[in-house]
Amino acid sequence: MESRRPPPSPFVENYVVPGDVVLDLSEMTNQTIKLGAGLRQECDTIQATSSGKLRLSKPNKYWVESSQKRYTPSVEDTVLGIVVDTKPDNFLVDIKGPNLAFLPVLAFEGGTRRNIPKFEIGTLIYARVVKANSIMNPELSCMDATGKAAEFGQLKDGYMFDTSTGMSRMLLSSPTCPVLEALGKKLSFEIAVGLNGRVWVNAPAPNTVILVSNAIIRSESLSGIKQRAMVENLLQKLT
């Protein structure tokens, strides 16, 4: 089996630009390779079509990760949306993508025609992307795959701000992102991160919320050590 495994692409965990040949298929036989965003098959090669970091998820899923302000909806992403309009069948939700997303009024745990939630314009919703392609409006759901509510739904109070998509991926990565870890040691707050570049923070004191949101916004371009140092600095200024 060792000989059958494809040689790892030299680009994995490195930056690629459009046109880079990432994999040569002529060397591999009987392999199934899953391609995610930013990759395309050209005859015998796999080429990158967008610039970013090439990621590999064992055993065989490749994709290109890039960080932007805009969000391209893809299935199974958890996002934070803002309700823009209500229709009889759907809520129209803005998720920072090219189109407005539809959230069916029944896509809630135990949702029936009788207990449709009342969301006013400007409500913040934590939801999951169910359908997404470039042609149609994406579709959301406030239930997980088994039909439970699982933290989805309206987010009350707190404060929301925008980040880039790369930053929100970093905040959701495991092990915990350094800035969140450093903040979590001293402060207590709750946080919801949307992969579309929106973050919601809530804490009992407005002071804490402001500190957490500013720390996260500033940590985008800092390395792990610098993030911790920055958080230390901010916390010292408070006390």
Partner 1 sequence: MAMEHLRWRPTVNERDFIERALQSDLRVDGRNSFDFRTLKITFGREDGTSEVQLGETHVMAYVTAQLVQPYWDRPNEGTLAIFTEFSPMADPAFEAGRPGESAIELGRVIDRGLRPSRAVDMESLCVVAGRHVWSVRVDLHILDNGGNLIDAANIAALAALSTFRRPECTVGGDDGQQVIVHDPEVRDPIPLTIHHMPIAVTFAYFGEGNIVVLDPTYKEEAVMGGRVSATINSNGDVCAIQKAGVEGVMSGVIMQCLRIASVKAADITSKIKKAVKLCISPAQASCRRPQQHRQHPILVQERQTSLAPPDSAPMVEASSEEDAQPVTESSNAEAKSTSSTGAIGESDEAQEIGSPKSLKDAIKPKHKRKKKVAG
Q: Which residues bind partner 1 (CB under 8 A)?
A: 82, 84, 92, 94, 99-100, 120-124, 155-160, 200, 206-207, 209-211, 213-214
* Residue 195 vs 211, nearer CB to partner 1: 211
Complete edge-to-edge strand list for the sheet that includes strand 34-35: 15-16, 52-57, 61-65, 34-35
Minimum distance between the CB of residue 201 and partner 1, rounded to whole angstroms?
9
* Residue 44 vs 157, nearer CB to partner 1: 157
* Residue 177 vs 209, nearer CB to partner 1: 209
Buried b (16+ CB within 10 A) or exposed e, 189-227: bebbbbbbbbbbbbbeeeebbebbbebbeebeeeeeeeb
Minimum distance between the CB of residue 53 and partner 1, rounded to whole angstroms?
27
Minimum distance between the CB of residue 110 and partner 1, rounded to whole angstroms?
24
Contacts of 237 (CB under 8 A, 6+ apart): none
* Residue 18 vs 98, nearer CB to partner 1: 98
* Residue 32 vs 239, nearer CB to partner 1: 239
* Residue 113 vs 156, nearer CB to partner 1: 156
Minimum distance between the CB of residue 100 and partner 1, rounded to whole angstroms?
5
Classify residue 12 by its DSSP letter: B
Number of neighbouring beta carbons within 10 Å of residue 8: 10
Number of neighbouring beta carbons within 10 Å of residue 129: 23
Minimum distance between the CB of residue 99 and partner 1, rounded to whole angstroms?
8
**Dihedral angle sign, alpha carbons of residues 166, 212, 76, 100:** negative
Minimum distance between the CB of residue 202 and partner 1, rounded to whole angstroms?
9
Considering only CA atoms, which of 209, 204, 211 is closest in space to residue 238? 211
Minimum distance between the CB of residue 70 and partner 1, rounded to whole angstroms?
11
* Residue 46 vs 93, nearer CB to partner 1: 93
CA 117-122-126 angle, to 5 degrees, is 60
Measured CA to CA, the distance from residue 8 to residue 195 in angstroms comes to: 28
Answer for the pair 20, 48: CB distance below 8 angstroms, yes or no.
Answer: yes
